């Protein structure tokens, strides 16, 4: 994940498995471990992957797609998150797959429709806006 600056605990994208610039679609995943840094405290006895980290995983995927397309070298930061819905919980171990569709993909702003899945179950969706900072 050399294009993304996030490392250590906040590297929430393990691999990108699809990147189609022409159609503006991309997909990646993050493997969730029962001993992840957040698992002990969220929620003790029943670790649930926090929703805010689902959004962060999707944002990292959108940032990767942005860097591959524009090669700006600038960090793509949050400018907004809209229409967020959490549809199910994620309990590790699990593979969290994120798919994205670029609704707008410009050098100064990108808007991505993102969905997250575990298996065939959609667990979250959101529209994420990013801008280089």
Report the catalytic residues. Answer: 42
Contact (CB, 8 A) for 14 and 28: yes
Q: Distance (Å, rounded) from C-alpha 83 to C-alpha 81?
A: 7
Q: What are phi and psi of 42, to 5 degrees?
A: -135, 80
Q: What are phi and psi of 84, to 5 degrees?
A: -75, 130
Q: Distance (Å, rounded) from C-alpha 48 to C-alpha 38?
A: 9
């Amino acid at each position: 994940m050399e294009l993304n600056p996030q490392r250590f605990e906040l590297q929430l994208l393990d691999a990108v498995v699809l990147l189609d610039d022409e159609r503006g679609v991309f997909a990646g995943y993050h493997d969730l471990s029962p001993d992840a840094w957040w698992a002990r405290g969220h929620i003790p006895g029943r670790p649930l992957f926090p929703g805010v980290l689902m959004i962060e995983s999707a944002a990292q995927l959108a940032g990767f797609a942005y860097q591959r397309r524009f090669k700006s070298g600038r960090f793509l930061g949050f400018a907004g998150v809209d229409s967020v819905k959490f549809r199910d919980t994620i309990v590790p171990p699990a593979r969290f797959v994120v798919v994205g569709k670029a609704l707008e993909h410009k050098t100064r702003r990108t808007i991505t429709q993102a969905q997250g899945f575990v298996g065939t179950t959609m667990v979250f969706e959101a529209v994420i806006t990013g801008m280089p900072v």
